[in-house]
């Protein structure tokens, strides 16, 4: 261990009841701290003894007194701020100050080199480096009230947590926790896959029934093959019935066309007969028409000649003669002749007009008769066209009528019923086949899921090997390290108990890291494999190791005898033993401790024995300087140093008197 590091000067300003600035120059020795009230000699509580120890703890670690909820709660009532300054035996200086209106300030000033000072987090790092201890290690040198005696009576779980932090097992603990967490994740995954496996097997069992799955699938395949043949046969029946029903439908459709054919033929026959009966008349009409058509040019010519003659006669017929020559203007010598001619012309005009009328009437009559004959000849022509159409229709319908006659004997009368029955039979067969195939697919899917679940469970089992084994290794390493350290601490503690020379109270302590719990182990101690919940399983299925009892990590400190004084002595010895081991392990030079009320349960005789041997015990623990708080004067009288606290009106002053 390096040169011992102690406190050379302590300056306190407005820390709880220690109001104002107060300075203590300290030596590397043991100081008993006692307090008195200026007006009440019997009063010693709440006067500032614990506050003095808490001030040192606060300055070096930032830990608040246990009765302070907020940082500013330690500032003396009515004051705006305060600080605690510690000057080490090396000359290094620490100052932690706080004002009610500002945040906490921390300073570290190295000896002889103030320019290399640090603040806040950097300052805390330098303090920790100087002490060789961290804030978490403060409980190994700053022993608050009842902490030593409570060490034996406190719950084992938080006690283990406290020691584990001192032992530096965090990395192993984190690694073990990570391994256990990984195992837990894998076990949860296995549980999920086991559920999947059970569900898949249950589904397959519901579909296939009891028995071997492979045999059941094979039997189902045979059933499916039978159903397939039945469905195929039923399909053929449907096709045959559908063909016969189709013939019936075709026959019914052809019946209409056959009737139409018969009607067309009958109409054609009647029309042909009518045409045949009218052929003689038509011949006469055609001959008459031809004659009229041949006669019409002559009639037209006659009509034209008569029209011309009537026109010529009309030009002279209308003239009158009075006996005077229209040319000479004198009496015509042939007046009688002229007058006779006029009369003749008029007669000729009547004849010409009569001829014209007769010629026009003859032409008109011939024309009308031709038209009349044409009209009479149109009906046979229409009948011939209609007959042609009927013959074309009959030609088109003839094959369908022939097909109708062909099917008349072949089409069954109950084809629809036969088809319906065949379709029902096929539907039932197809449904049985579909149900069997669906059951086969579902069963195959369930078995594939089951196989996948088994494969995944097997994979997880393999994956569990490493983290399970790692968890065992890390737990074993933690236990071996912790048990080795605890053996050292136990040895130190018993040495100190021997130093106290408690002849009337012989005392030893035993410290164990883990105890045997109730029930069997959850995991194999050899390979880390998880055991099933059944208590009947007594050996590991993976490595064959015997299943032992469950162990719980609960640090137990067992004194050889129990009493209030034994708890106090045992607590002091174990606390100082742990502190010695930790500072040796950290190569810490820190040699100052504060002890607040370590003898609360001791009688006067034990307190004297405690105080008289405390210097040697503290030296064994590696402490050169101590500030010891006690309400009992017999404890303080045997200590070489004295620190007095005097209180009046709620304010306390502190001074070194020895």
Does residue 29 sit within a domain? yes
Task: Give the residue numbers spanning the domain of 635.
Answer: 7-155+593-656
Q: What is the dihedral of CA 158, 161, 166, 169, to 10 degrees?
A: 170
What total of structural domains would you count in the chain? Answer: 1
In this structure, the number of other CB atoms found within 10 A of the CB of residue 216 comes to 18
Cβ contact 592:511 at 8 Å: no
Please check whether residue 47 lies inside any domain of the structure.
yes
Q: Is 204 inside a domain boundary?
A: no
Classify residue 94 as left (phi > 0), alpha (psi -120 to 50) or beta.
Answer: beta
Instruction: Note whether residue 366 is domain-resident.
Output: no
Residue 191 has, within 13 A of its CA and on its CB side, a CA count of 9
User: What is the rounded CA–CA span in Å between residue 607 and residue 603?
Assistant: 6
Alpha-carbon span 500 to 621, nearest angstrom: 13
Residue 635: which CATH number? 3.40.50.300
- Tell me the pLDDT tens digit for each residue of 75-129: 999 899 999 999 999 999 999 999 988 899 999 999 987 777 899 999 999 999 9
Pairwise CA distance, residues 439 & 436, whole Å:
5
Tokens 């965090």: give the residue. Answer: 170
| Structure tokens given for 597 | 């009320």
* Burial per residue of 288-316, b for 16 or more beta-carbon CB atoms within 10 angstroms, e otherwise: ebeebeeebeebbebbeebbebbeebeee
pLDDT profile of the chain (658 residues), mean per 10 = 84 95 96 88 82 96 92 92 96 94 93 84 95 91 84 80 78 82 88 92 90 89 92 90 79 82 87 82 84 87 86 67 59 64 76 86 87 84 85 86 77 78 91 92 93 93 84 80 90 90 79 73 62 67 67 80 84 91 93 88 80 90 92 78 91 93
DSSP 65: P
Contacts by 430-436 with C-beta closer than 8 Å and gap 24+?
430/231, 430/234, 432/227, 432/230, 432/231, 433/224, 433/227, 433/228, 433/230, 433/231, 436/220, 436/223, 436/224, 436/227
Q: Are 150 and 570 in contact (CB under 8 A)?
A: no
The tokens describing 329, both together, are: 């203007």
- CA dist 423 and 417 (Å) reads 10
Q: Is residue 463 part of a domain?
A: no
β-partners of residue 33 are 629, 643
In a domain, 641, yes or no: yes
d(CA 183, CA 195): 18
In the prediction, which pLDDT does 442 show?
Answer: 94
The verdict on residue 225 lying in a domain is: no
Residue 26 lies in a domain: yes
């Amino acid at each position: 261990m390096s040169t011992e590091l102690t406190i050379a000067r302590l300056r306190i300003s407005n820390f709880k009841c220690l109001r104002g600035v107060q300075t203590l120059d300290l030596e590397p020795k043991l100081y008993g701290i006692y307090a008195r009230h200026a007006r009440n000699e019997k009063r010693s509580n709440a006067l500032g003894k614990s506050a003095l120890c808490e001030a040192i703890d606060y300055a070096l670690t930032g830990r608040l007194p246990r009765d302070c909820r907020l940082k500013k709660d330690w500032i003396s009532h009515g004051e705006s701020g305060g600080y605690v300054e510690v000057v080490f035996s090396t000359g290094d200086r620490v100052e932690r100050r706080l004002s009610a209106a500002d945040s906490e300030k921390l300073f570290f000033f190295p000896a002889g080199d103030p320019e290399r000072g640090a603040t806040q987090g950097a300052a805390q790092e330098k303090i920790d480096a100087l002490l060789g201890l961290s804030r978490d290690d403060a409980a190994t040198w700053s022993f608050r009230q009842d902490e030593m005696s409570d060490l034996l009576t406190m719950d084992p779980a938080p006690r283990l947590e406290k020691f584990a932090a001192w032992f530096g097992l965090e990395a192993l603990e984190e690694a073990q926790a990570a391994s256990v967490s990984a195992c837990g994740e894998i076990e949860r995954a296995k549980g999920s896959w086991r559920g999947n496996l059970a569900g898949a097997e249950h589904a397959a069992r519901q579909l296939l029934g009891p028995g071997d799955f492979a045999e059941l699938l094979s039997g189902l395949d045979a059933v499916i093959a039978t159903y397939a043949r039945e469905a195929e046969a039923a399909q053929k029946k449907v096709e045959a019935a559908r063909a016969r029903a189709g013939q019936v439908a075709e026959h019914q459709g052809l019946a209409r066309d056959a009737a139409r054919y018969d009607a067309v033929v009958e109409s054609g026959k009647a029309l042909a007969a009518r045409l045949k009966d009218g052929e003689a008349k038509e011949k006469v009409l055609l001959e008459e028409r031809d004659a009229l058509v041949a006669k019409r040019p002559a009639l037209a010519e006659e009509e034209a000649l008569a029209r011309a003659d009537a026109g010529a006669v009309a030009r002279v017929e209308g003239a009158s003669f009075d006996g005077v020559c229209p040319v000479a203007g004198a009496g015509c010598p042939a007046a009688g002749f002229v007058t006779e001619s006029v009369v003749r012309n008029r007669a000729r005009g009547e004849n010409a007009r009569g001829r014209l009328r007769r010629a026009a009437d003859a032409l008109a009559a011939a024309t009308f008769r031709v038209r009349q004959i044409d009209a009479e000849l149109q009906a046979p022509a229409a009948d011939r066209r209609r007959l042609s159409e009927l013959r074309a229709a009959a030609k088109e319908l003839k094959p369908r009528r022939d097909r109708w006659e062909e099917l008349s004997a072949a089409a069954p009368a109950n084809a629809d019923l036969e088809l319906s029955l065949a379709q029902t039979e096929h539907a039932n067969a197809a449904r049985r086949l579909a149900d069997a195939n669906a059951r086969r697919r579902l069963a195959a899917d369930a078995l594939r899921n089951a196989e996948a679940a088994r494969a995944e469970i097997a994979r997880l089992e393999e994956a569990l090997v490493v983290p399970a084994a790692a968890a065992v290794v890390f737990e074993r390493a933690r236990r071996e390290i912790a048990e080795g350290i605890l053996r050292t601490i136990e040895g130190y503690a018993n040495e100190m108990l021997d130093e106290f020379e408690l002849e009337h109270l012989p005392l030893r302590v035993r410290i164990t890291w883990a105890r045997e719990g109730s029930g069997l182990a959850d995991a194999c101690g050899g390979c880390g494999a998880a055991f099933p919940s059944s208590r009947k399983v007594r050996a590991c299925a993976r490595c064959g190791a015997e299943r032992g009892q469950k162990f719980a990590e609960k640090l137990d400190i067992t004194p050889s005898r129990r009493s209030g004084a034994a708890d106090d002595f045992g607590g002091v010895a174990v606390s100082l033993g742990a502190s010695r081991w930790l500072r040796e392990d950290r190569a810490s030079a820190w040699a100052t401790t504060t002890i607040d009320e370590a003898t609360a349960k001791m009688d006067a005789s034990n307190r004297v024995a405690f105080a008289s041997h405390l210097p040697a015990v503290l030296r064994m623990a590696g402490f050169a300087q101590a500030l010891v708080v006690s309400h009992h004067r017999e404890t303080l009288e045997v200590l070489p140093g004295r620190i007095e606290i005097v209180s009046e009106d709620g304010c306390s002053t502190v001074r070194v008197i020895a």
